[in-house]
Amino acid sequence: MIIRRDGSVHRMLKSLSVRAGAADSERKMLEVALDNAYEGLIITDANGIVLRVNEAYATFLGKTIAELVGRHVTEVVENTRMHIVAQTGKPEIAQIQKINGHEMICHRIPIFDQGKVVAVIGKVMFQDVDDLFAMIGRFRKLNKELEFYKSELNKRLGAKYSFANIFGESQELERVKELGRRVAKSDTTVLLVGESGTGKELFAHAVHVESNRALGPFIKVNCAAIPETLFESELFGYKEGAFTGAQKKGKKGKFALADKGTIFLDEISELPLLMQVKLLRVLQEREIEPVGAEQPEAVDVRIVAASNRDLGELVEEGLFRHDLYYRLNVVMLRIPPLRERQQDIVLLTEKILKQLEKETGIPVEGVDGETEALFKAYSWPGNVRELRNVLEQTLYLKSGNVITRQDIPRAMIKSAEGSGSPGQLRSLKSQLSQVEESLIRRAIQDAKGDKLAAAAQLGISKSSLYAKIEQYEI
């Protein structure tokens, strides 16, 4: 047969030659990868004959590659199951195998071709179980260090509580927590309203922790604790030489410290009118102007404000700017008082007593039935804060391991009992709530949905009406 240059046969042979060369290159590359793999690797055929083994596996066995290849795996590997995997076709992952007195961890994986096992790959993951334990030990150490640094970071940034730290199972509280979780994911300004001691600061912490700013700073400002003359410099800072007595390098204000994070303005109702104007500018322009500065400075801050006073009523009295009120009241979270979630009183009592037991070292088993009934009947004007204070007092006054009526302050007992039994008192409160809800519904109906007219008819502010509408889910 004559083969002509560039003829069909010649081109076919040339193509086969190129393919053979490429296949040979791939084979050599795979062999190099196999030989240089860190893990020990061994390959047998379907009958258990060793086809390939890399240097790492041979060294582990204390043999040469030539001593292993071509032999049945049971002859060269102690306690092997490679031939069994070839028969069953079932992989064995992370199995312990003892070789030369060492317990090592290995994989045995069958290779299929057209539904039949054609080879088995064995892979040594850890040449000694002690290596695995050492790795686990290092992991635990690193994890412990990570938790430490996370804890230190949280201390530095200020936020300490999440929604999981807000105890209670009542529908009223769960509804507010669910809304808080939803709004936390955005940068929306949040207004927390509720009586003193209801846990507004806990909610502020939780909103920050659940937000995309959780790794940023959380700066707390008690507006009621700052003298009026120092408000501007405390909130916005000042530049060098801004006034007599100023620090040489100037000072960062609370808003600058909260950049990329959250600032919590507690008792926002106590903010002077002049500072309300400046705060409004921060909300509108997202910039601050330190005392003595020539130019405003951009700031990226999420604002969470809180008040135990009705800001709507303060607006009507001219003590709070209406434009600032609307800017703050984008999303309002009304924290229900303790008297509106009586089913949480027992749970909170148990939680607080466990905390106080650890803090004081005074053993306590709980409260008796009569004390529990008194707690449910009491109005708790100081809410959770007052509950904790009462329980702490009783720890030092109690004579036994269980808190009884005799350990409770007399004024509290008198207030709880009133003129009837605790059960009768709760019934009265329930009836009053029903009457209030009925009157509000009728006023809104008479006003044909006009909330302002309904509020005027009831003799309350519009903001108070909206709070009642939310409370009764009208």
Q: What does the pLDDT average to over 68-93?
A: 90
β-pairing, 40-45 with 50-53?
Answer: antiparallel
| More confident: 166 or 418 | 166
The CATH number assigned to the domain holding 363 equals 1.10.8.60
Asked if residue 219 and residue 104 are part of one domain, the reply reads: no
**pLDDT at site 218:** 92
Instruction: List alpha helices for 43-98, DSSP H.
Output: 55-61, 65-68, 73-76, 82-88
Judge whether 304 lies within some domain: yes
Instruction: Quote the tokens at residue 353.
Output: 């007593």
Question: What is the C-alpha to C-alpha distance for residues 128 and 141, in angstroms, rounded to an integer?
Answer: 20
Judge whether 150 lies within some domain: no
**pLDDT at site 176:** 93
pLDDT(30) > 80:
no
Q: pLDDT of 324-374, one tens digit each?
A: 999 999 999 999 999 888 889 989 999 999 999 888 888 888 888 888 888
Asked if residue 430 and residue 413 are part of one domain, the reply reads: no
Q: What does the pLDDT average to over 133-154?
A: 63
Q: pLDDT of 290-313, one tens digit each?
A: 887 778 889 999 999 999 999 999
Q: What does the pLDDT average to over 24-33?
A: 54
**pLDDT at site 208:** 94
**Which residues have CB under 8 Å from 309's CB, separation 6+?**
269
Q: What percent of the chain has pLDDT over 90?
A: 31
Judge whether 311 lies within some domain: yes
Asked if residue 450 and residue 400 are part of one domain, the reply reads: no
The CATH number assigned to the domain holding 56 equals 3.30.450.20
Torsion sign across C-alpha atoms 428, 434, 440, 446 = negative
Judge whether 3 lies within some domain: no
Judge whether 118 lies within some domain: yes
The neighbour count for residue 199, using CB atoms within 10 Å, is 24
Walk across the sheet containing 331-334 and list its strands: 218-222, 261-266, 301-307, 190-193, 331-334
Question: What is the C-alpha to C-alpha distance for residues 387 and 394, in angstroms, rounded to an integer?
Answer: 11
Instruction: Quote the tokens at residue 42.
Output: 């061994």
Asked if residue 450 and residue 405 are part of one domain, the reply reads: no
Asked if residue 269 and residue 181 are part of one domain, the reply reads: yes
Judge whether 133 lies within some domain: no
Walk across the sheet containing 92-99 and list its strands: 50-53, 40-45, 116-126, 102-113, 92-99
Among the listed residues 29, 24, 46, 27, the one whose alpha carbon sits nearest the alpha carbon of residue 113: 46
Contact (Cβ atoms closer than 8 angstroms) between residue 252 and residue 263: no
pLDDT(228) > 50:
yes
Which of the listed residues 336, 360, 385 is the one where a domain comes to its end?
336
3-state secondary structure (DSSP) of residue 149: helix
335 CA to centre of own chain: 20
**pLDDT at site 432:** 62
Which of the listed residues 336, 364, 389 is the one where a domain comes to its end?
336
- Count of H-run helices and E-run strands, the chain: 20, 16
**pLDDT at site 426:** 47
Q: pLDDT of 403-462, one tens digit each?
A: 888 888 888 888 887 744 444 444 455 556 666 777 788 788 788 888 888 888 888 888
Which of the listed residues 336, 353, 371 is the one where a domain comes to its end?
336
Question: What is the C-alpha to C-alpha distance for residues 449 and 147, in angstroms, rounded to an integer?
Answer: 54
Residue 26: pLDDT band by 50, 70, 90 thresholds? low
**pLDDT at site 415:** 84
Question: What is the C-alpha to C-alpha distance for residues 339 and 337, in angstroms, rounded to an integer?
Answer: 6
Residue 37: pLDDT band by 50, 70, 90 thresholds? low
Residue 376: pLDDT band by 50, 70, 90 thresholds? confident
Question: What is the C-alpha to C-alpha distance for residues 463 and 474, in angstroms, rounded to an integer?
Answer: 15
Q: What does the pLDDT average to over 378-391?
A: 91
Lowest mean pLDDT among 70-84, 172-186, 395-409, 434-448: 434-448
Host domain of residue 380: 339-418
Residue 23: pLDDT band by 50, 70, 90 thresholds? low
End-to-end CA distance of the chain: 100
Instruction: Quote the tokens at residue 44.
Output: 């047998």
Long-range contacts for 385-390 (Cβ within 8 Å, ≥24 apart)?
A: 385/196, 385/197, 386/197, 387/338, 387/345, 387/348, 387/349, 387/352, 388/352, 388/356
Lowest mean pLDDT among 99-108, 155-164, 239-248: 239-248
Q: What does the pLDDT average to over 98-110?
A: 82
Tokens 């909260």, located at residue: 258
Q: What does the pLDDT average to over 75-85?
A: 90
Q: What are the distances in angstroms from CA 270 to CA 43, 229, 265, 278? A: 78, 13, 10, 14
Asked if residue 345 and residue 324 are part of one domain, the reply reads: no
Q: What is the CA radius of gyration of the chain?
A: 37
**pLDDT at site 327:** 92
Question: What is the C-alpha to C-alpha distance for residues 290 and 429, in angstroms, rounded to an integer?
Answer: 51
Asked if residue 239 and residue 179 are part of one domain, the reply reads: yes
Q: 124 - beta bridge partners?
A: 40, 106
In the chain, the number of structural domains is 4
Ranges of beta strands (E only) in 380-421 are 402-403
Asked if residue 375 and residue 257 are part of one domain, the reply reads: no
| More confident: 332 or 129 | 332
Query: In the predicted model, what is the mean pLDDT of the chain?
Result: 82
**pLDDT at site 469:** 83
Ranges of beta strands (E only) in 100-233 are 102-113, 116-126, 190-193, 218-222
3-state secondary structure (DSSP) of residue 10: helix
Question: What is the C-alpha to C-alpha distance for residues 119 and 360, in angstroms, rounded to an integer?
Answer: 68
pLDDT(142) > 80:
no
Judge whether 72 lies within some domain: yes
Asked if residue 73 and residue 189 are part of one domain, the reply reads: no
pLDDT(5) > 70:
no
Asked if residue 431 and residue 295 are part of one domain, the reply reads: no
pLDDT(139) > 80:
no
Q: What does the pLDDT average to over 22-43?
A: 61
Question: What is the C-alpha to C-alpha distance for residues 256 and 94, in angstroms, rounded to an integer?
Answer: 54
Asked if residue 306 and residue 397 are part of one domain, the reply reads: no
Asked if residue 456 and residue 355 are part of one domain, the reply reads: no
**pLDDT at site 424:** 45
Q: What percent of the chain has pLDDT over 70?
A: 80
Judge whether 203 lies within some domain: yes
